[in-house]
Amino acid sequence: MRVEDRFLKYVSYWTTSGDDAGVIPSTSRQFELAKVLEQELKDLGLDKVILTDHCYVYGLLPATSGMEGKKAVGFISHMDTAPDFSGKDIKPQIISDYDGKDILLKGSNTYLTVKDFPNLTSLKGRTLITTDGTTLLGADDKAGVSEIVTAIEQIIESGMPHGDIWVGFTPDEEVGAGADLFDLDYFKADFAYTLDGDYEGEVAYENFNAASAVFSVKGVNVHPGEAKDIMVNAALVACEIQSMLPPMETPSHTEDREGFYHLTDMSGDVASATLSYIIRDHDKAKFESRLATLKTIEEKINQKYGEGTVTLSIHNSYSNMLEIIEKNQYVVDIARKAIQEVGLTPLSRPVRGGTDGARLSFMGLPCPNLGTGGYGFHGPYEHVSVEGMCTAIEIVKNIVKITAEM
């Protein structure tokens, strides 16, 4: 099956994950695509194909004769799409021989513009798949899923020699839980790659250190006519907390390796208020300093208004995989060689986010991230090129070939 046909099939399944569900998968609808992938891997003849109760799909393409002693490589992508924007009833637009100009998204009468997405100029002449403007597309990460399955299919058809190749598809990556129940006792790869990036010549191995933080504010509510020296307005205290953070260290003012504090939700009244943040930084020391700043704010507010006025809770989400990859540089070297063999210059940029690979690296499976050929993720301007997906497939096959030659 052509990768574009496989991709269009996969995006027809609604697999949006959900925040704060407390279970994996966070939405049962992810099982619908998982069942399809389970059957496809079985139809391709893979061994050890299973779909777990928690919606993880695994499969093994066993080594060809004489290659049993080679390192086992794995390829991983996630099935869910981000809850940031609707992923239901996706209506893709297919644009052949793209002219390099702005694209009308017919469902919303809006435009995917070259001004906002300058990468579009490099896609001139390609076949693009976009949304109609009413949903996201799901290239993140069904492009990666499509590329892995298609690459496996082509490897089998070509008869190329290879060691063990493991395949894994995860739920709930978009809500930070994709690696939580990944079974490394079953998935016996020596190293792996997530296909979850954009530019198809990318190999990324730096990501944010990440945490979430919640300030819970308890106010003192009395009649406003009798409030002097008594009332503590929780909503105003919440505003004060936000004002104590550096105003230029937010997502809209930072780039590259610059970290930030991001206020994701704020609610409250006189009696109580809550502020929810995500904290990000590539540098471990700077990351820890940011968390210390939050704790200092908690202390100062409680000193000012009374102990117990503010309670801060912090949850560490994931760490920068660079710490692990630096000790396993060969996994990056293999990917770079594979990318060069398709005629591209490898691109390694700090990822301003996280991947399942970051968590898996700290669990013992070195796992950089490869590009998929998709762009504009998590919204109506998401798009992918067929040629980009085909290039990503060739890179996967090259990784398999290089690993077999080691």
Active site residues per annotation: 80, 173
H/E run at residue 213: strand 209-218
Token pair for 126: 């390609």
DSSP string, 276-327: EEEEEESSHHHHHHHHHHHHHHHHHHHHHH-TTSEEEEEEEEE--THHHHTT
Residues, the chain: 406
Contact in structure between 6 and 44 (CB atoms under 8 Å): no
Q: How far is CA 235 from CA 181, 220, 294, in A?
A: 38, 11, 18
**Residue 279 CB contacts under 8 Å (≥ 6 apart), including other chains:** 210, 211, 212, 213, 259, 260, 261, 262, 287, 290, 291, 294
Nearest to 360 by CA among 181, 112, 202: 181
Contact in structure between 92 and 11 (CB atoms under 8 Å): yes
Nearest to 301 by CA among 289, 309, 292: 309
Contact in structure between 42 and 49 (CB atoms under 8 Å): yes
Q: How far apart are CA 272 and CA 221, in angstroms?
A: 9
Q: How many CB atoms within 10 Å of residue 11? A: 27
